């Protein structure tokens, strides 16, 4: 009887295992979906579209970019979390959802570690402090002096956590009071700064520099520890007098938890091949980004250190979700 049961179980298990192996061997065999929890035109969105094009060239499978902005990235994250863990849905996200929100938002509806499997880091680079050019500010110290003279008069826009975090850290280290104006994305935030409805922001350079070069925004400094190769004339914010200031914007990729390890390995290799190519490094380098693709473990460690860093800043600055 025992032998009969074992044979019956084997008869069930072997076909199922065979189907899994066949599916893995043929992976990828259908289009990918990149869930982007930010608006079209954001740094994450533009990076996702380029990477998607290169992934299509490498695999022969189309990539659909699915923008789900809103809720501080939560809407998009929840859409990705509920997807099948089959390696075809990729969450393309950043500091906001996987380093900032866990400390910023109470009763957050997802676990940034348990609900997702790290795939790889993608790009990282400096933010840039920009102001409306009609304002009299010509330097970082001008902003600090004016804000100290008239606390609460000046405003800063944010469209994700990095833009908000960059400004909140600036406020904290400079000892000033500037008022937060939240937006659903960075592009509309910059539109309002150009229009004079908000005074300043700390966006990614890739989004802001075209507006700076056209004269619609004025750049005062960069957030990185060293000057940017694409705008060497701009001082770092630390160099401009805010000692200890350094913020890195970044974009990375995750899969829903539970994806098979062999599928994870295959997709990771495709992404790493795309991100480490000379063409891709030069493409992102033109906008001040560097690629930092690697094994899933590297992204997990990067996420851990960034989460701890921002948890400390959020607590010290008494930053609250808005």
Residue with tokens 């003279």: 149
161 and 214 in a single domain? The answer is yes
Q: d(Cα 216, Cα 193) in Å, to the nearest integer?
A: 9
Clarify whether residues 121 and 141 are in a common domain: no
- 113 shares its domain with 135: no
State yes or no: pLDDT of 243 exceeds 90.
yes
Residue 70: pLDDT band with limits 50, 70, 90 = confident
Instruction: Specify if 307 maps to a domain.
Output: yes
- Residue 53 placed within a domain: yes
Please indicate, yes or no, if residue 240 is contained in any of the structural domains.
Answer: no
Residue 242: inside a domain: no
Residues 115 and 256 placed together within one structural domain of the fold: yes
Q: Check which CATH number belongs to the domain holding 281 and give it.
A: 3.40.190.150
Higher-scoring residue by pLDDT: 12, 47: 47
* pLDDT the model gives residue 115: 98
Average pLDDT on 252-268 reads 98
Contact 194, 217 (CB under 8 A): yes
Asked if 113 and 155 sit in the same domain, the reply is no
End residue of a domain, out of 204, 222, 240 = 222
Q: Quick check: 123 and 95 in contact, CB under 8 A?
A: no
How far is residue 260 CA from its own chain's centroid? 25
Read off the pLDDT of residues 265-305 as tens digits, 9 standing for 90 and up: 999 999 999 999 999 999 999 988 999 999 999 999 999 99
* Average pLDDT estimate for 177-196: 93
CA within 13 Å, CB half, 100: 24
Alpha-carbon separation of residue 119 from 79, 83, 224 (angstroms) = 17, 15, 25
pLDDT at 12: 53
Q: Are residues 217 and 133 in the same domain?
A: yes
Whole-angstrom CA distances from 274 to 35, 204, 278 are: 18, 22, 9
Task: Return d(Cα 28, Cα 25) in angstroms, integer.
Answer: 8
Q: Is the pLDDT of residue 72 over 90?
A: no
Q: Which domain holds residue 74?
A: 31-125+249-316
Cα distance between residue 285 and residue 283, in whole Å: 6
* Residue range 60-85: mean pLDDT, rounded: 96
pLDDT for 9 beyond 70? no
9 within domain boundaries: no
- The pLDDT of 197-214, averaged and rounded, is 94
Q: Give the count of domains, the chain.
A: 2
Q: What rounded mean pLDDT belongs to the chain?
A: 91
Same domain, 134 and 119: no
For residue 321, is pLDDT > 90?
A: no
SS3 63: strand
* 24 lies in some domain: no
Is residue 213 pLDDT above 70, yes or no?
yes
Domain harbouring 142, CATH code: 3.40.190.10
Residues 100, 197, 137, CA angle at the centre, nearest 5°? 85
Query: Are residue 119 and residue 146 in the same domain, yes or no?
Result: no
Distance, CA of 102 to CA of 165 (rounded, Å): 13
Specify which residues 89 forms β-bridges with.
33
User: Is residue 308 domain-shared with residue 255, that is, in the same domain?
Assistant: yes
Residue 148 neighbours by CB under 8 Å, 6+ apart: 175, 176
**Does 40 share its domain with 179?**
no
Average pLDDT over residues 223-252: 94
Query: For residue range 84-141, what is the model confidence (pLDDT) as tens digits?
Result: 999 999 999 999 999 999 999 989 999 999 999 999 999 999 999 999 999 999 999 9
Whether the CB-CB separation of 120 and 299 falls below 8 Å is answered with yes
Q: Which helix or strand (DSSP H or E) is residue 140 part of?
A: helix 140-149
The answer to whether residue 229 is domain-embedded is: no
Q: Are residues 202 and 143 in the same domain?
A: yes
- Calpha distance 88→78 (Å, rounded): 16
Residues 133 and 109 in one domain: no
> Is 1 a member of any domain?
no
In this predicted structure, what is the pLDDT of residue 21?
47
């Amino acid at each position: 009887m025992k032998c009969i049961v074992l044979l019956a179980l084997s008869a069930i298990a072997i076909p199922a295992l065979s189907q899994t192996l066949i599916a893995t061997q043929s992976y990828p065999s259908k289009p990918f979906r990149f869930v982007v929890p930010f608006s079209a035109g954001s740094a994450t969105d533009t990076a996702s579209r380029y990477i998607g094009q290169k992934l299509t060239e490498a695999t022969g499978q189309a990539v659909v970019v699915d923008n789900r902005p809103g809720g501080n990235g939560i809407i998009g994250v929840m859409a990705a979390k509920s997807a099948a863990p089959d390696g075809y849905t990729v969450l393309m996200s950043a500091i906001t959802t996987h380093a900032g929100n866990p400390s910023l938002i109470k009763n957050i509806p997802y676990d940034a570690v348990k609900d997702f499997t790290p795939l790889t880091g993608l790009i990282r680079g400096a933010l840039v402090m920009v102001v409306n050019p009609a304002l009299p500010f010509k330097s970082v110290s001008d902003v600090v002096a004016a804000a100290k003279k008239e606390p609460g008069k000046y405003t800063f826009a944010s469209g994700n956590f990095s833009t908000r975090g960059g400004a909140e850290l600036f406020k904290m280290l400079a000892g000033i009071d500037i008022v937060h104006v939240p937006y659903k994305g960075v592009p509309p935030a910059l539109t309002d700064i150009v229009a004079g409805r908000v005074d300043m922001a700390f966006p990614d350079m890739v989004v802001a520099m075209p507006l700076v070069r056209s004269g619609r925004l004025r750049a005062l400094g960069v957030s990185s520890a060293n000057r940017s190769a694409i705008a060497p004339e701009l001082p770092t914010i630390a160099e401009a007098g805010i000692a200890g200031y350094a913020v890195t914007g970044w974009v990375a990729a995750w899969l829903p938890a539970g994806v098979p390890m062999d599928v994870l390995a295959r997709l990771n290799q495709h992404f790493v091949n795309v991100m480490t190519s000379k063409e891709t490094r030069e493409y992102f380098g033109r906008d001040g980004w560097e690629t930092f693709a690697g094994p899933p473990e590297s992204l997990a460690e990067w996420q851990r250190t960034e989460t701890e860093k921002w948890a400390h800043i959020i607590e010290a600055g008494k930053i609250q979700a808005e």
